[in-house]
Structure 1
Amino acid sequence: MIRLITEIDDNGPVPPRGLARIFPDLTRRRIRHTIEQVRTLGLVSIRSGVGLGLTDAGLQLADIYDSTARWARTHNHPSSTCTFITRVRATLQLLTPVQRPVAAPPAGPVEAVEDLARLREALDRWIDSHWSDDEPADALQDLPEAA
């Protein structure tokens, strides 16, 4: 999901059949499942003649992914050399309530924790504004997962 949302955010709408070319490492079944999931969550819509495009919710989530990756890159989380997806996944895991508090990097521990708290607040606001209590709980639990 992270890869799909980021791809559309970075490069604009994509034709659904073009996703196999964009993500050659994923099976067609996995791509279809991811498209169904992001459509169900209201993150993308299919635009006639254009393809899959991000909804307002999808654009806002892409901004959260970007902010999350920037925090991770700044604080070398989970390591100094890793991919955008790895950075986003690892940082989103820090934002889940069941995780232990983040071990802040030595260069700026207070700032790192404060910035991470701001990311959590942004994610909470996004969830609150795009989901109601009648949404399936498992959909929100799957949110940080990448395709």
Structure 2
Amino acid sequence: MWAVLCAAALVAGCDKRPAPQEEEGGKGEHVDYVCTSCYRYVNGTSEPVTVEFHSAQYDLTPPPVEEAFTVAVGGRHEVSFAGFGLFPGPFCLGDDTWVKVSQGEREFVQRAGDESAFLLDSTAYERLEGDRLTRVYEYRFTDDDFAGAEIID
């Protein structure tokens, strides 16, 4: 269900939308609002940055790319996720999410549950703006993010 909500949010952009009363997870809980988290990625590096995020919930090898984007030097890209009655974290695909980030000749991979997976933790982002139903977060890539990254073959 999270993958469906996240995919819908990717198309919708950074906005708030009312939702009809719905049952969530068959638990009988009713919510009447959708919370949107918009994550903005700014490239403060000397090379374009490419981000791919995956969900390993599919029993496919390799797992499909849920979304991929490239941020030009000095540019930015926004990704939004929606949740019924809660603000989703970045790349809200669940415990099996992983993110691959590359810049020129270096790349790093972060997996949900790893202590070093800062891109999957909203506390690594600067909270910029928002209201009761919308929040905007920003992460600025720097050359330091890639200092210890693996060299791409």
Common topology (TM > 0.5): no
The TM-score, its normalising length taken from structure 2, stands at 0.27
Question: Which protein has the bigger strand share?
Answer: 2
The TM-score, its normalising length taken from structure 1, stands at 0.28
Question: Which protein has the bigger helix share?
Answer: 1
